Structure 1
């Protein structure tokens, strides 16, 4: 073989031999080399990460911000111990102690906490972050919002910084909860706002009835027993709410649960009006619209019950404007009750009954069938049944009418009218109420109040009751025009009236009702004393003197001005405190015949009467 031939053969086989040798080397030394290379790469990444974390690290800034918020809030958070007397046991008087949290509202010594933290307490102590323990007195409370104000000796107090209520709290905002969970005092947890406008029925009266106004901020920051009353802050350490409850298992929602990812806080825009009034006057006045509203999820029939209709039927939501003869006979909102006396529960049934009734007409009969509708007169604030004669040749036009059943959700009715947004339906408007006087009407949909979106009735209630009487509530309203088959939006300014809490809740508030219980017919009252009896020249009897009666009230027809209430439910009383104590133990909405009282009239005659909410 010539040299050139050998060279060509090597050129052909050489690369293959090199690849083979490389493969052998890799098989022998490769695993160790790869491990070294991987380790080197990992070390490089760790070094780079460490360098980044130690230089211009955003997490360090966040961490420092957390520390700053803790430092800022620590002096403003307090631990509360409340002692409650217990019934005597074998002649021994006992007491129980519960704990909660609170926060310094101002440098004068006012402390804000939850009402349920101090409810029924006869002695309260407040511990500051320094360990200093100071006695506290109750300035006032509002069970309907679960807010209470205490007063401790002032001096060396750091008031919490409060956010501007005009700055909205938004879902996703970072929040921090402070308090004493499980008695671990001055603790801090963090999370985000998960939702707003929550209502879970946690605020109830002593009879277990839902009477409170709830518009909670939902957070995922850990809130546990003992956190109640503590502040909830934003990322600047400004108070935006107060921890109040934990949503627990479906069977119960109360402050005694354990955290399961859903914490609830009262928003600051509800807290400030209540606290400021309690500090100033000791009682809380709330605004009142004078309307009933229904959520979109409620049934159509429930809205009609508040208007006074109870029965079967279907609601007419839309009439084709081209069917003028139908437009002349029916109105948007009519309840079609029966066809020729046969009750109606669905649209299909109504059409079927109409054709059957037409088929039964004789030659001597008028060529029309009779439909009964129930119609609500918005201006008269009352409804009544009407008979409508429908010619047979118009029966086929009924198929163009749109209706909903009474057992369908209100959202279905609104969608048929062309409304797909959030809001609450006005189901009733008191003719003597401020909203009706300002122009609000039954069938309106309230979407905003003072620029705050309204998604459910509890939100509307909470916003309105956080305002004071005579404040202006600006309502954004959507109103359907049945003739034009279009909805219009408008703003209505409503000067608020004063909420009568007895009429709303059925429960007496001893703080508020010391001088009058107008909803029961008592316009002015006082403890009747011997000295005052001499002053007004009346014979003295221990009890409560009724100085003025509400004109036209049921009570004014039973007793006379100047009568003295001497007993309530067969229990003798000697002063206003005893009178109110007995009444506050009664659910006035649950007494069909009212509360029985015994009185002595100015002429000395004895009489009995019934106290009822008028």
Structure 2
């Protein structure tokens, strides 16, 4: 009887309805439409042999679909997404991939009113963008909540513009916390609230009506929601938004080391009490080297905060003010030493492209078949054909074996693979290296970040499909 009453009490904590919350926050949620000029495309070539009796039919088909001579002309492409107002003077948060490369950005409010938006700044590392609209009157807005207070099992509500259907609400729970998918600064909230294409950039609310996440990506075998969606945690987003508002760009701290996690075997060999901290594997020119840090040091504390692993250290450093002098405690040869490091700015180091990355595919095959996919490094020609920005990086999918797992999971020609095993891939060799690393680590599958029309999606492919 006691158990039954306890279960009933828990069931009663579920909301009877989300209508009140939806009505309260919906005026602050917006639909985003972008417009971009892209190069013309001639469409698929070589579908039938020249001189075939079907040649005229396919040429007529291509002409009807804008892939004939007229299709060679530049054309305007539109995309849809979501966002939300965070201040009465018109600042709007969305995903970077929603507005990337856009010439025009139009904001539609719940009332139906439309305004043109200006881009304030973007952060591709967290896929966040900040927009600004000028309105005649103060705009309704929502506030960020503390995502660290969210617990697995808490109710959440997502709002946005899924599949271009206009304002829509979905609800679910927090399925997991602190997910790291593909980025250095990732802190995703996983939710089973339905998130589909077009929801990108929309808010994830707690039951108080505070934004605790920005809906960003889904894990799906078919491109639709299967209840595994990811929202960038608000405690990451707020720092990015503040910097974009103040500077128009991010300014993250930079320590200047290459690091790796400490394994139990490493801890035993180093005489450490536990497998915690971040092992320094290399110290190139930079702040850490200037402060006397050495390869083999284990960073156990940074600016008064204990360091448990590399992921935590990267996030702490990135959130620390550029130019600040911090105390870094390291374990060196069994002894503890404290170094005083003046942080640099990470964005300045990222502008220097290694020589190995300055040329595209000059020493590798133009295409390669891997895991049922025919892949090619992105070239200027491919970027033009796919309507991508000149800065786009990754591997283009030029063909998919219909019998392969990749086809079953929704990959198609025209998709672009930008990451594998949570690491950026710029060449075919990069992807092969990630596959080898995954196999060597005993993993049975590899996680790919696939972009289609700018929208990201994670797809896990079995490694035994490699031919």
Both proteins in one fold, TM over 0.5: yes
**1:545 corresponding residue in structure 2:** none
**Any stretches of 5+ residues in structure 1 without a counterpart?**
1-44, 204-211, 250-255, 297-409, 508-519, 521-581, 592-614
The answer on 1:425 being equivalent to 2:377 is: no
* 1:472 Cα offset (Å): 5.8
Q: Deviations over 1:58-100 (max 9, x none)?
A: 7566425744432332222111111222323635542222111
Distance in 2, matches of 1:221 and 1:493, equals 46
**1:159 corresponding residue in structure 2:** 141
Q: Deviations over 1:476-524 (max 9, x none)?
A: x562544xxxx75x876644211244546739xxxxxxxxxxxx9xxxx
**1:128 corresponding residue in structure 2:** 109
* 1:128 Cα offset (Å): 1.2
Aligned positions of 1:146-545 closer than 5 A: 146-154=127-135, 155-164=137-146, 168-184=149-165, 185-196=167-178, 198-201=179-182, 213-249=185-221, 257-296=223-262, 410-416=263-269, 417-430=271-284, 433-437=286-290, 440-446=293-299, 456-471=309-324, 477=329, 479=331, 481-482=333-334, 494-501=341-348, 503=350, 506=353
Distance in 1, matches of 2:260 and 2:332, equals 16
Q: Deviations over 1:397-439 (max 9, x none)?
A: xxxxxxxxxxxxx442223434434433222234x53345556
Secondary structure in 2 aligned to 1:269?
Answer: helix
* 1:461 Cα offset (Å): 2.7
Distance in 2, matches of 1:213 and 1:453, equals 18
Q: When the two structures are superposed, what TM-score results if normalisation uses the length of structure 2?
A: 0.59
Q: 1:102 aligns with which of 76, 83, 87?
A: 83
Decide whether the 8 Å contact of 2:172 with 2:191 is kept in 1: no
Decide whether the 8 Å contact of 2:187 with 2:233 is kept in 1: yes
Secondary structure in 1 aligned to 2:249?
Answer: coil
Secondary structure in 2 aligned to 1:63?
Answer: coil
Q: Which structure exhibits the higher relative contact order, with contacts defined as CA atoms closer than 8 Å and separated by 6 or more residues?
A: 2
Would the alpha carbon gap of residues 182 and 294 (structure 1) be closer, same or farther in structure 2, given more than 3 Å must change?
same
Would the alpha carbon gap of residues 444 and 174 (structure 1) be closer, same or farther in structure 2, given more than 3 Å must change?
farther
Q: When the two structures are superposed, what TM-score results if normalisation uses the length of structure 1?
A: 0.46
**2:21 corresponding residue in structure 1:** 69
Decide whether the 8 Å contact of 1:216 with 1:267 is kept in 2: yes
Decide whether the 8 Å contact of 1:149 with 1:278 is kept in 2: yes
**2:34 corresponding residue in structure 1:** 82
Q: Deviations over 1:308-363 (max 9, x none)?
A: xxxxxxxxxxxxxxxxxxxxxxxxxxxxxxxxxxxxxxxxxxxxxxxxxxxxxxxx
Distance in 2, matches of 1:278 and 1:176, equals 26
Distance in 2, matches of 1:68 and 1:453, equals 42
Would the alpha carbon gap of residues 187 and 213 (structure 1) be closer, same or farther in structure 2, given more than 3 Å must change?
same
Decide whether the 8 Å contact of 1:112 with 1:147 is kept in 2: yes
Distance in 1, matches of 2:280 and 2:215, equals 32
* 1:123 Cα offset (Å): 1.4
Distance in 2, matches of 1:116 and 1:259, equals 18
Decide whether the 8 Å contact of 2:121 with 2:130 is kept in 1: yes
Would the alpha carbon gap of residues 68 and 244 (structure 1) be closer, same or farther in structure 2, given more than 3 Å must change?
same
Secondary structure in 1 aligned to 2:236?
Answer: helix
- The CA RMSD measured in Å over matched residues stands at 3.9
Distance in 2, matches of 1:60 and 1:282, equals 46
Decide whether the 8 Å contact of 1:181 with 1:223 is kept in 2: yes
Would the alpha carbon gap of residues 412 and 220 (structure 1) be closer, same or farther in structure 2, given more than 3 Å must change?
farther
Decide whether the 8 Å contact of 1:79 with 1:180 is kept in 2: yes
Secondary structure in 1 aligned to 2:118?
Answer: strand
The structure number with the bigger radius of gyration is: 1
Secondary structure in 1 aligned to 2:117?
Answer: strand
Distance in 2, matches of 1:473 and 1:174, equals 39
